[in-house]
Amino acid sequence: QVYVTESGGGSVQAGGSLKLSCTASGYTYRSNCMAWFRQAPGKEREGLAYMTDVGSTGYAHSIRGRFTISRDNAKKTIYLEMSSLKPEDTAMYYCGATRVGWKSCPAASPWYNYWGQGTQVTVST
């Protein structure tokens, strides 16, 4: 059984910062891609940041320069450090993990096999 758990969401004012965490268990962690996505009400799930087991990263243009993904293989955890938050960043944030390894992580959510329940981020003006 694979478990993916996100934490760290909350409510902040515009310009503030948050750090999200995602822990995965129950499968071979090191060889897989892990990524952060978000979904606002009425919108499609949007890929934000991706990371391979060896540290190769990718970012969506919408968050480039403001969000940073990192990974702690010993803790089987990835992080998303978010700064200069804007009201349009308000969404449910999800962590996804692939079942197989990739040289370059896919950006689309259908390629991710395991998902957490999400953590809500709300940014107010």
Percent of the chain with pLDDT over 90: 72
What is the amino acid identity at position 74?
A
Calpha distance 45→43 (Å, rounded): 7
Residue 27's pLDDT is: 67
Calpha distance 47→40 (Å, rounded): 12
Question: Does 31 have pLDDT greater than 70?
Answer: no
Residue 54's pLDDT is: 85
The torsion angles phi and psi of 119, rounded to 5 degrees, stand at: -135, 130
Residue 58's pLDDT is: 93
Question: Does 33 have pLDDT greater than 60?
Answer: yes
Looking at residue 14, what DSSP letter applies?
A: T
Calpha distance 12→7 (Å, rounded): 15
Mean pLDDT score, 118-124: 98
